[in-house]
Amino acid sequence: MTDLHAAARRCLDATDPAEKLRLTHATWQGLLAGELRACAASPPPEPIGAPGRPAKPRLVNARQVPQRGLGSAEGRAALVHAVAHIEFNAINLAWDAVYRYRDKPAAYYRDWASCAHDEARHFAMLSARLAELGHGYGDFDAHDGLWAMAEKTAHHDTARMALVPRVLEARGLDVTPGMIERLRHLGDSGTVAILEVILREEVAHVAAGTRWYRHCCERDGLEPVETFFALLRDYMGVSLRGPFNRPARLQAGFLEEELERLTAMALLA
């Protein structure tokens, strides 16, 4: 196989987490080696549906996911599971960005394949930590908010780049430092070490979203700041949560103007 789009689809469709990780790493290595490339003759993308995922975790409304305190081992395992579920979804999101959107620069495909590779590594680290805590992926209920936004934006690459990496995934930049501090206070150095790696590497993933969002705006003659807030209102209303991790978001390509407006929106929500 030399068609990167077809290889991305195989990763996306894999239901077993171990197989998804194996295919993800193999596809990334194939791209690095020049064995895979975006192929103009590849069949057009199929309409978006549910990605490959195991039978568990059970997916429920976000409000139905129990809130557990971090003071217990069960609560810490539930937190690790929640982050693992986000990373599993992020693997699928990255591969869908490779599979779905065609005629992009080679750097676009490299960026999102690299993100998929990173997210797979994050998921593997979190799965190992879950096992140390006496649990496995699927032991706790989870929600599907990230993939729901992927479905809503499947037809619109500008909206996808604006809203999935720069809003939903960027939320991790805001909340992870607080999780790290609470877990450090509780002496959970194993989980802290993993979250520190994830936080550092997620900055680059959000930056990729910023880069390709602005590329889409330039292609279509759109002003990026006003377009971002228009998309935010159209797809999400004003239900934003703050505060925002300004240093990390600035490093990921956000402008001061954007952060000021996001902060004002969050205060009104």
Domain range annotation of the chain:
74-268
Q: For the purposes of burial, counting CB atoms within 10 Å of the CB of 104, is it exposed (0-12), middle (13-18) or buried (19 or more)? A: middle
Cα–Cα–Cα angle for 176, 61, 258, nearest 5°? 45
Q: State percent of the chain over pLDDT 90.
A: 87
Residue 269 in this model has a pLDDT that exceeds 60: no
Q: Tell me, what DSSP letter sits at residue 165?
A: I
Residue 127 in this model has a pLDDT that exceeds 70: yes
pLDDT of residue 240: 80
Q: Tell me, what DSSP letter sits at residue 39?
A: -
Tell me the two tokens of residue 24: 């993800």
Q: Tell me, what DSSP letter sits at residue 200?
A: H
pLDDT of residue 38: 95
Q: Rounded to 10 degrees, what is the CA torsion of 234, 235, 238, 242?
A: -140
pLDDT of residue 268: 65
pLDDT of residue 73: 85
| DSSP reduced 3-state for 240 | coil
R_g of the chain, CA atoms, integer Å: 18
CA distance 255 to 262: 11
For 157-170, the pLDDT digits (tens) are 999 999 999 999 99
List Cβ<8 Å contacts ≥24 apart for 180-186: 182/70, 183/70, 183/76, 183/79, 186/70, 186/71, 186/76
Tell me the two tokens of residue 13: 């469709």
146 or 138, which is more confident: 138
For 34-88, the pLDDT digits (tens) are 999 999 899 999 999 999 999 999 988 777 676 777 878 889 999 999 999 999 9
pLDDT of residue 64: 66
When mean pLDDT is compared across 59-68, 105-114, 152-161, the lowest value belongs to 59-68
CA distance 9 to 49: 12
Q: Tell me, what DSSP letter sits at residue 47?
A: P
Q: Which of 239, 91, 108, 240 is nearest to 161 (CA)?
A: 108
- What CATH homologous superfamily does 74-268 map to? Ferritin, core subunit, four-helix bundle (1.20.1260.10)
For 189-229, the pLDDT digits (tens) are 999 999 999 999 999 999 999 999 999 999 999 999 999 99
Distance linking the first and last C-alpha atoms of the chain: 49
Residue 1 in this model has a pLDDT that exceeds 70: no
| DSSP reduced 3-state for 239 | coil
Q: What separation in angstroms does the CA of 54 have from each of 4, 113, 234?
A: 24, 22, 32
CA distance 199 to 220: 32
**Mean per-residue pLDDT of the chain:** 94
CA distance 154 to 237: 19
Tell me the two tokens of residue 6: 């077809």
pLDDT of residue 204: 97
Could you tell me the pTM of the whole model?
0.95
Q: Tell me, what DSSP letter sits at residue 70?
A: T
Tell me the HSE value of 18 on the side-chain side, using a 13 A CA sphere.
2
* Cβ-based neighbours of 3, under 8 Å, separated by 6 or more: 36, 37, 39, 41, 42
Residue 125 in this model has a pLDDT that exceeds 90: yes
Tell me the two tokens of residue 187: 């002496």
